[in-house]
Structure 1
């Protein structure tokens, strides 16, 4: 177990490995680049060649360097394709901001007349419908990656409780495994429960790219609704980032990230994080009297069996910047988690002993090289194999109520059924991507991703159970090919195609139609081959006005958890069909700047038509969920966002999303092909999916508030989600329909940074007004909570 003490000892060891860092960071430099009209110039390159430091100006024309030694140094201001411009500045422990006033088209010592784009700006200029986030601005908060993603227009995070609870992330109405997650382009499907977006600290990544709808081929997936690519900072060769946070419900978070790179290219990178919470927040629910079995009126009680903790460490060792490899790293990911199960899919099912635990042991291999063999050919290879083990334990012969009281049961039986499942979801993944640039206009890409799944396990209390001995194997292979033509700086277009295949094997138990009490055992095998294709194009009507259009015909193959269940809250459905979809995105973005003011706005329309749409249905017998098919579903949605900033002082914005998923199967399918009776759900909204929601935020930034090189910021975020039904609107009377109520959540973040960002203190208040919040029916989320974070960061 990676305890906090071990983590801190490891931090000391890492600091010892980076002795040169101790002498750095005595000063910071902040500057602004404007034109003669006092308009900020975006993405201008600013570089200290003697120090090996570089950056670019942001949308406000601002640039910043931290942890610089004092002295007089040369600063270069330039862009590719133009002569470099340079000047000398003095870096002191206390610096006033540097201002560069530029003349367009005139080459002067302190002036710039050319432009470039930051990584986020370059990503947002793609033809794909994408939102790129700068994760660095959240790294002094206690937010995890999932909560940061909840701020993205069109995206929605749904959680069943507090830390470590089940979560569902959606983009424009599509959720679950339709949305794929990647780490530096590597699929995260095989990373295990100890390494998921709702427990990974935001300090783990530098940028986040959220693709909505059509997904580029180089990510290599059968995503139907979108993809999220988490991008680490490869430019930081020597750094140390340590943080610890404590909050309500006895919540602890600690994090260590560090890297060391020698002059000859030897590279070590380490990431470690830990999360713990009792999750003992208050909820309102009926309480059962165990002696009589009757339900008493609604009471306020505290969750008593919801503890969660996980510990994960990642080590990568190898070489960088070699002739034969830009990056070659071998690594290992080790982690474990423990999770108590307080409820099932509804709050009226309360447990007091059922729990889960598991671990991950995953060796990894990475190789990356630009201009391999010939100029313009870039190759990336990734491989991993998860040897982790999972356990689900339900062996206590008792019943619990919400007061924590228990009553022994007679005979055998657990709280849910009776099991101690011990199993390995052995997962292997290999990905290869090659891109080729032919001149300045032609770009080719090919990608292949292979995923292997093999579940092996047994039941410790029922060792002879046939259910745990049957094979559960599923392999998936996806090949993609794309071609991009860049007509000019104003427009480009990409066409692509995909080949998807799936092979799966298990034993299927089928009820004998001639005798419902008899079961027929069959050998179940799946062999599927599908094709997909699409295009994405963009055109800049003006330099600040961009139009995007993309289309994709795609197939999403069922996941192993859909076919076999997850051994927890989901049962399998071997008859589940692949989803087939036509997706179209059309959007326009525009930005204007005047003086210190900048305004940007964007609107995107989304249309999808899905056949054999997968959605979760509640199984009342097992109190679990199961994926099922609705034959035809359409989605017509609209997503919009507007943002305003004033210099480096103020930033504010708002976004809204409307999505209209409807059942388009006109006739009932359970009566046979020759009987046509209109379905009662035809034209109805797909249940249990939010259809209108939005965010609003505002941030105030104050530099040099108490002393030079310090920063203070206060941020506010508002989340609104309109109410929606859990089941079909046609089922039951309006007054008795199960409804997930409207959410209105307020969060506040305060951050104070000293010594140019070396020392940081963050305070987060979540659910400021202590409202009752629900993402799912009856499953109440935590009330108001306070979290304090201390962070130390140093970078060479």
Structure 2
């Protein structure tokens, strides 16, 4: 079957004659060939690996400029830019050994540099690494990255928090498209499944220069699964079991590529019962079911590269409102529950010219969200349709200066068809234009940019004046100019300094402008403010990194000043037994950072010690504390790497101790939270049985069954603890 599929694609692409090619040999410092080195061209979505002699080859390459990266575990990655491609090109590479993580190309910033070369500090984590930590959802894995946490409702709903900012202040990208899924709601989760996602990049700071409104606090940029190497076929199956929720996560995928064509498809199903707290009781109706399907097809030749991807995601979520009630291990959700259907279609095109290129991303998202209170007839039903476009022209390189000019936009409509209205029917239009330049000399780089944006929001009137759910018509326009300036230099060979200053903005969302009713899950009656102004911030980031063969150290510090910060404040009024909160604005400031080290002692090549500490403080202009600020955290991991003969390779075992401190700096309507320490264990590797190999992992999370309540848990007000001990067993093998 594999040969038939591959032959069909090879035959279809055989009519295309080979154009430009690049080949070469990858060696180490001793001039020995390196096999299985990943050689990848990000703009072309094309990859290959070196053979036993360290040789590689790419065919049918474009005439314009593009980048090729070389990476393998245990060696420092390299990135080579090709500006003028000949018909036949030879690029030989020498890699130096490194015991730390592989350097990766960062695609969430404009010039697609390696992480070590980037002016802005960007956190990069592979989904495989996050999964090895045994977390049951994608957002739980993200919350293990320093500076990132989550606002959670049990184990099913999680919203990302970056350095104290959340909701519409954090922008999420997948498949090169901004995710729009009514993310203003506290009980609206991330809406992404980790199956079919390769890695995530985290920008911790204002990224409005590149992404416009809603990137004031940062960006989560999810890179989709790579296509197969040229002229190969791959299929794999993975299965995970979670003891706490008696949950199961199954995924199966296949992919194949030729020199020009590439195709992949992956389906997954995730199902969990109510989660169990430390004393053995289950939190009623925290169960959920998720179906996810991703597929993609790509084509590239000497003139352009094009990739079309589609993602379907269906969620059936229970909404806990009775705390710890009837005990059950059923996976069938009870009322109240949510039903969510999400369709994401993206098209990425790169057109190559003589010495320049045009990168165009188009996206369409259809988000259908229903909430069912006590019957299968939706009381709340919202349909959000969003069309995005993003075009960037990369000018020919002028000496050491690289320049990009881009335009971005969005057209969005929101329609209601249920009895309840959280927000009115509305239309949102965005348009932005920006330019950015990168100048590199010796061991230093300067990057600067400027941008203008306009957002227009119009809505129609609804309801009866004086009653809940009444909305006046709205027609508001918001403008903003933003800029960024970054500098990176090597103070010494092992010491790197990054300094970035950037501004960002966020236009108020529909809920903040128009709310008039009880906000479910918070026991608050919320009143919007149609006169809210745009949030505007300026943030300064300082990053110092020291890295040698056996020691790595980093320190990140930031100061973020936000004008017109939007938040809810109690009015003292009570409606329908609910306290009334109104949306108001005040200036605010957030400051803090992360510090950490990674020690790899010589000659104990199998031992690693990693530690990190993160802190953030958020205050209003009057020095009162902001709400929803995560507690300080100190994270320590002792990890070993090993191999057992020829049947168990890439083995690892780790002990993690994560200490979250008490959070006493709370806003007026929050309560303080106690600190807690969790202990986690992990073990895994690749088992080889003859010609067959499969990956296994075993995780024990909250190993001592600690009873605790996270500060950002939305079940905290009811005194409901977070998840207790959870043992996770996973297996992944090629078919």
Q: Supply the distance in 1 between the matched residues of 2:728 and 2:454 (Cα, whole angstroms).
A: 45
The residue correspondences of 1:100-119 to structure 2 (distance < 5 A) are: 118-119=104-105
Alignment CA distance shift 1:568-1:508 (3 Å): same
Point out where structure 1 has 5 or more consecutive residues left out of the alignment: 1-12, 22-30, 37-41, 64-76, 88-99, 103-111, 285-299, 397-413, 665-681, 732-736
3-state SS of 2:254 partner: strand
Q: TM-score, normalised by structure 1?
A: 0.71
Q: Supply the distance in 2 between the matched residues of 1:17 and 1:617 (Cα, whole angstroms).
A: 61
Alpha-carbon deviations, 1:479-536, whole Å to 9, x = none? 3221222233433332332323232323277977xxxx99987322222222212211
Contact persistence 1:142–1:245 (CA under 8 A) = no
Q: 1:213 aligns with which of 198, 205, 214?
A: 205
Q: Supply the distance in 1 between the matched residues of 2:569 and 2:585 (Cα, whole angstroms).
A: 11
Q: Supply the distance in 1 between the matched residues of 2:154 and 2:123 (Cα, whole angstroms).
A: 27
The Cα of 1:714 is off from its aligned counterpart by 1.0
Alignment CA distance shift 1:723-1:454 (3 Å): same
| Partner in structure 1 of residue 75 of structure 2 | 61
Q: 1:312 aligns with which of 292, 295, 300?
A: 292
Q: Supply the distance in 1 between the matched residues of 2:385 and 2:592 (Cα, whole angstroms).
A: 38
The Cα of 1:759 is off from its aligned counterpart by 0.5
Alignment CA distance shift 1:252-1:385 (3 Å): same
Alignment CA distance shift 1:652-1:508 (3 Å): farther
The Cα of 1:227 is off from its aligned counterpart by 1.0
Q: 1:382 aligns with which of 362, 386, 401?
A: 362
Q: TM-score, normalised by structure 2?
A: 0.77
Q: Supply the distance in 2 between the matched residues of 1:324 and 1:261 (Cα, whole angstroms).
A: 18
Matched, 1:635 2:590: yes
Contact persistence 2:212–2:505 (CA under 8 A) = no
Alpha-carbon deviations, 1:650-708, whole Å to 9, x = none? 222111122221121xxxxxxxxxxxxxxxxx2122233124223222221112x1425
3-state SS of 1:282 partner: coil
Matched, 1:584 2:540: yes
The Cα of 1:85 is off from its aligned counterpart by 6.1
3-state SS of 2:393 partner: strand
Matched, 1:783 2:724: yes
Alignment CA distance shift 1:496-1:86 (3 Å): closer
Q: Supply the distance in 1 between the matched residues of 2:576 and 2:635 (Cα, whole angstroms).
A: 38
| Partner in structure 2 of residue 532 of structure 1 | 482
Alignment CA distance shift 1:301-1:759 (3 Å): closer
Q: 1:723 aligns with which of 662, 666, 671?
A: 662
| Partner in structure 1 of residue 310 of structure 2 | 332
Q: Supply the distance in 2 between the matched residues of 1:490 and 1:35 (Cα, whole angstroms).
A: 29
Contact persistence 2:393–2:404 (CA under 8 A) = yes
The Cα of 1:633 is off from its aligned counterpart by 0.9
Matched, 1:259 2:255: yes
Q: Supply the distance in 1 between the matched residues of 2:142 and 2:390 (Cα, whole angstroms).
A: 25
The Cα of 1:543 is off from its aligned counterpart by 2.8
Contact persistence 2:501–2:539 (CA under 8 A) = yes
Give the stretch that moved more between structures: 225-234 or 569-578. 569-578
Alignment CA distance shift 1:275-1:128 (3 Å): same
Alpha-carbon deviations, 1:761-795, whole Å to 9, x = none? 1112111111123222234211001111110147x
3-state SS of 1:146 partner: helix
Q: Supply the distance in 2 between the matched residues of 1:498 and 1:685 (Cα, whole angstroms).
A: 32
Contact persistence 1:613–1:631 (CA under 8 A) = yes
3-state SS of 2:473 partner: strand
Contact persistence 1:569–1:625 (CA under 8 A) = no
Alignment CA distance shift 1:568-1:18 (3 Å): farther
The Cα of 1:155 is off from its aligned counterpart by 1.7
Q: Supply the distance in 1 between the matched residues of 2:579 and 2:409 (Cα, whole angstroms).
A: 30
Q: 1:523 aligns with which of 461, 473, 477?
A: 473
The Cα of 1:218 is off from its aligned counterpart by 4.0
| Partner in structure 2 of residue 72 of structure 1 | none
Matched, 1:655 2:609: no
Alignment CA distance shift 1:779-1:452 (3 Å): farther
| Partner in structure 1 of residue 13 of structure 2 | none
Q: Supply the distance in 1 between the matched residues of 2:585 and 2:96 (Cα, whole angstroms).
A: 61
The Cα of 1:586 is off from its aligned counterpart by 1.5
Alignment CA distance shift 1:715-1:219 (3 Å): farther
Give the stretch that moved more between structures: 176-185 or 188-197. 188-197
Q: Supply the distance in 1 between the matched residues of 2:177 and 2:253 (Cα, whole angstroms).
A: 19
The residue correspondences of 1:662-673 to structure 2 (distance < 5 A) are: 662-664=619-621
Q: 2:164 aligns with which of 168, 173, 182?
A: 173
Alignment CA distance shift 1:85-1:428 (3 Å): closer
| Partner in structure 1 of residue 147 of structure 2 | 154
Contact persistence 1:479–1:499 (CA under 8 A) = yes
| Partner in structure 1 of residue 370 of structure 2 | 391
Contact persistence 1:343–1:349 (CA under 8 A) = no
Q: Supply the distance in 2 between the matched residues of 1:218 and 1:363 (Cα, whole angstroms).
A: 21
The Cα of 1:419 is off from its aligned counterpart by 6.5
Contact persistence 1:34–1:61 (CA under 8 A) = no
Contact persistence 1:384–1:430 (CA under 8 A) = no
3-state SS of 1:353 partner: coil
Q: 2:387 aligns with which of 406, 428, 436?
A: 428
Alpha-carbon deviations, 1:278-300, whole Å to 9, x = none? 1241378xxxxxxxxxxxxxxx7
Matched, 1:555 2:505: yes
Matched, 1:276 2:261: no
Matched, 1:772 2:707: yes
Q: Supply the distance in 2 between the matched residues of 1:250 and 1:424 (Cα, whole angstroms).
A: 33
Contact persistence 1:32–1:57 (CA under 8 A) = no
The residue correspondences of 1:723-742 to structure 2 (distance < 5 A) are: 723-725=662-664, 727-728=666-667, 738-742=671-675
RMSD: 4.3
| Partner in structure 1 of residue 217 of structure 2 | 225
| Partner in structure 2 of residue 361 of structure 1 | 343
| Partner in structure 2 of residue 289 of structure 1 | none
The Cα of 1:478 is off from its aligned counterpart by 3.2
Alpha-carbon deviations, 1:385-422, whole Å to 9, x = none? 41x422111136xxxxxxxxxxxxxxxxx9xxx97223
The residue correspondences of 1:737-756 to structure 2 (distance < 5 A) are: 738-755=671-688
Q: Supply the distance in 2 between the matched residues of 1:282 and 1:623 (Cα, whole angstroms).
A: 29
Point out the structure with max Rg over C-alpha.
1
Q: Supply the distance in 1 between the matched residues of 2:655 and 2:433 (Cα, whole angstroms).
A: 43
Q: 2:694 aligns with which of 734, 755, 759?
A: 759
Q: Supply the distance in 2 between the matched residues of 1:219 and 1:468 (Cα, whole angstroms).
A: 27
Matched, 1:487 2:441: yes
The Cα of 1:138 is off from its aligned counterpart by 4.3
The Cα of 1:354 is off from its aligned counterpart by 1.0
Alignment CA distance shift 1:420-1:530 (3 Å): same
Alignment CA distance shift 1:636-1:55 (3 Å): closer
Alpha-carbon deviations, 1:162-208, whole Å to 9, x = none? 2x22x23222222222111112432122599999657522x533332
